Structure 1
Amino acid sequence: MLILLSPSKRLDYDSPVTVNTKTTPELIDSSTELADELRELTPKQIASLMGISDELATLNHQRFQDWIAPMPDDATRQAAFAFKGDVYLGLEAETLTAKQLEYAQEHLRILSGLYGVLRPLDGILPYRLEMGTSLKNARGKDLYQFWGTSIAESLNHQLEQTGSKFILNCASNEYFKAVDKKTIAAEIISPVFKDKSKNGDYRVITVYAKKARGTMAAWVIRKKAKTLKKLQQFDGDGYRYDEASSTAAKPVFLRG
C-alpha cells in the first residue's frame, strides 16, 4: 500500500531532529526549473498570485532568490519533519522508530507544488507553493500542467518496487488532482472521516479529517498494512470503520 499525503503551509525548521538520514527529491531537476521561473516574480506578484500578505510574499520572494540545487545540507530538513500542519500532528513522524521511518520511506509519498513528490526523508528547503496556484510556466497554465504525468509515473515506479496493489489517498483534492489517474496502475482508496454533529448526523469536519489522515498514515506504517481488510481495523483518534456507509473506493470511518 502506497500512502499519499498533502504538504502543509506551516513549517518547522527549528525543533531538533534526531534522524540523520537525508535523501534527494526524485524530481529535483523539475523543481529547479520551477524555482528559476518563480525567482523572476516580484514580491507584489507573489502576493497577488498566492493571495498572501505582503510580509509573507517578501519572505517567499527571498526564499526563491536563495533557492539553489544541489541544496545545501545545512539549510534543508527532511520533509516529514519540516511540515507541521494538522496532517503532521497526526503523523507524528518524530515518534516513528528507525525501522518505521525506513518503511515509510518506501511506502509514503508527500505531494508538493514545488517538488512534485517527496519521500519522508527527502531534504527540502523552506518554501510556499500550493498545488492549486495558477502559475503560468514553460509547460502550461498552472502547476497541474507543469507536473503533467510525472507524479503518477513516479508513483507507478514505487508501486512496482514495493509490490503495492493500492494507493491510499490521504491527500486533499487540490493535491490529488495533480496525480494523473489514467496513468496510475493501482486501485485508489480514498478514506473518509466523519464526526458526529450536535444534530446527531455525521459530517466531515475539515480540521479533524486532516489530522485523521496523518493518524491513518502512521497507523498503516506501524502495522505495515497491505490489504483493505486490514485497513478496516483502523481505530486511531477514536474512529471506527462503518461498513454501511462505505464503498470499496471510499471506506468511511466515524467518530462520536
Structure 2
Amino acid sequence: MIAIISPAKSLDFESQPPTQKYSQPAFLNEAGRINHQLKQLTEKDLIKLMGISAKLATLNLERNQSWSPPFSPENAKQAIYAFNGDVYEGMQAENFSPDQIDFAQDHLRILSGLYGLLNPLDLIQPYRLEMGSKMAVDGQKDLYQFWKPTLTNELNKQLAAAGGVLINLASAEYFKAIDTKKLKGTIITPEFKDNKEGKYKIISFYAKKARGLMCRFIIENKITEPENLKAFDLGGYYFNNDLSSGNKWVFTRDL
C-alpha cells in the first residue's frame, strides 16, 4: 500500500529537520530540465504563469536562479519537513519516531510539479511550480504531458512491490498527473466531509488538514492493509459507510 499527497506552496527552510537521514529525488535530471525552462522566465513571466504577486515573483526568480544540484543537507532539506501547508500541519511529521519516518519513506509519496515524485526524505531546494502550470517543457505542452508517463510507470513499479493499492490523498490538480487508465493497481480515494447546516460537505481547509491526519494515522499505526483505514478517527472523523461507495471512502464529522 502506498499513499500519495500533494506538495505545499508554503515552505520551511529555516527550522532544523529532526533527522539526519536523507535521500535523493529519483527524477533530478527531469527536474533540471524544468528548472532550465524556469531560469529563462522573467518576473513578469512568473506573474503570468503562476498568478502571483510581484513580491512572490521576485522571490521565485531568485529561487529558480539559485537552484543547483547536487543536493546536500547544507543546501537542501528533506521534502516532508520542507513543505509547510495544511496537509503537513495535519501530518506533523516532525513528531514521527525514527521507525515511523522509515515507514513513511517506504509507504508515502509526494507529487511535485518540479520534482515529479518524491520520497519523504528526498532533499529538495526551494521552488514554486504547481502541477497545473501551463509551461511547455521538452516539446510537451504542459507539466501533465511531461510527467504523466514517467509518474505512471514509476508508481506501477512501486505498487507491484507494495501490494498494488494506492491511497489517493492528493488534490485533483496533482492526481491528474497520473494516468489512471494505465495504473496497475486499486485506487482508493478517501473524502473528508464536515456537517454544515445539516449537510455533509467538503470544506477545503478542513479536508486538506484531514488528508494530513490520515497520513499520520497510516504512519503512526504502520498500516499496510487498506481495510484498516476505516478505523481512522483523528480530528473527530469516522468512516461513513452510508455515504461511501466502491473505492470512494467517505469520512465525516459533526463540527
Judge same fold: TM > 0.5, yes or no. yes
CA contact (8 A) 1:106 1:158 kept: no
- Alignment gaps of 5+ in structure 1: none
Identity between Structure 1 and Structure 2 (%): 44
CA distance in structure 1 between the partners assigned to 2:71 and 2:170 by the alignment: 26
| Secondary structure class of the residue paired with 1:148 | helix
The residue identity in structure 2 corresponding to 1:190 is: T
Counterpart in the other structure of 2:63: 63
Code of the residue aligned with 1:134 in structure 2: it is: K
Indicate the residue corresponding to 2:12 in structure 1: 12
Query: Of 247, 250, 255, which residue of structure 2 is paired with 1:249?
Result: 247
Q: Does 1:39 align with 2:39?
A: yes
Task: Supply the AA of the counterpart residue of 2:94.
Answer: E
2 CA distance for matches of 1:42 and 1:71?
A: 25
Aligned partners of 2:27 and 2:117 also within 8 Å: yes
Q: Does 1:181 align with 2:180?
A: yes
Residue 68 of structure 1 deviates from its aligned partner by 1.2
Gaps of 5+ in 2: none
* CA apart distance, 1:126: 0.5
In structure 1, the partner of 2:118 is 118
Please name the residue that 2:3 is paired with.
Answer: 3
1:170 aligns with 2:169: yes
Match of 1:200 among 198, 201, 206: 198
Alignment partners' CA distance in 1, 2:130 and 2:82: 15
**What whole-Å deviation, never above 9, does each CA across 1:81-121 have from its counterpart, x for those lacking one?**
00010000111101111111111101000000000000000
Partner Cα distance (2:199, 2:212) in 1:
24
Could you tell me the TM-score, scaled by structure 2's length? 0.97
- CA shift at 1:138, angstroms? 1.7
Task: Assess if the C-alpha contact under 8 Å between 1:139 and 1:145 holds in 2.
Answer: no
Normalised TM-score (structure 1): 0.96
- The answer to whether residue 210 in structure 2 is matched with residue 212 in structure 1 is yes
Separation of aligned partners in 1, 2:139 and 2:24 = 23
Paired letter, 1:139 = G
Conservation of the 8 A alpha-carbon contact between 2:6 and 2:110: yes
Equivalent residue, structure 1, for 2:135:
135
Offset from partner CA, 1:24-83 (integer Å, 9 cap, x none): 000111001110111011111011110001111111111111111222431211000000
Instruction: Determine the C-alpha separation between the residues in 1 that align with 2:116 and 2:89.
Output: 22
Paired residues of 2:86 and 2:209 also in contact (CA < 8 A): yes
Contact 1:196–1:202 (Cα < 8 Å) also in 2: yes
- SS of the equivalent of 1:3 reads strand
How many residue pairs get matched?
254
Q: Check whether the contact 1:149–1:183 (CA below 8 A) recurs between aligned residues.
A: no
One-letter amino acid of the structure 1 residue matched with residue 91 of structure 2: L
Runs of 4+ in 1 over 4 A off after TM superposition: none
Computed over aligned residues only, the root mean square deviation of the Cα atoms, in angstroms, reads: 1.0
2:72–2:123 CA contact under 8 A, matched in 1: no
- Quote the offset at 1:160 in angstroms: 2.3
**Secondary structure class of the residue paired with 2:248:** coil
Q: Write out per-residue CA displacement over residues 190-215 of structure 1, whole angstroms, 9 at most, x where no aligned residue.
A: 10100011x21111100000000011
Give the Å deviation of 1:254. 0.6
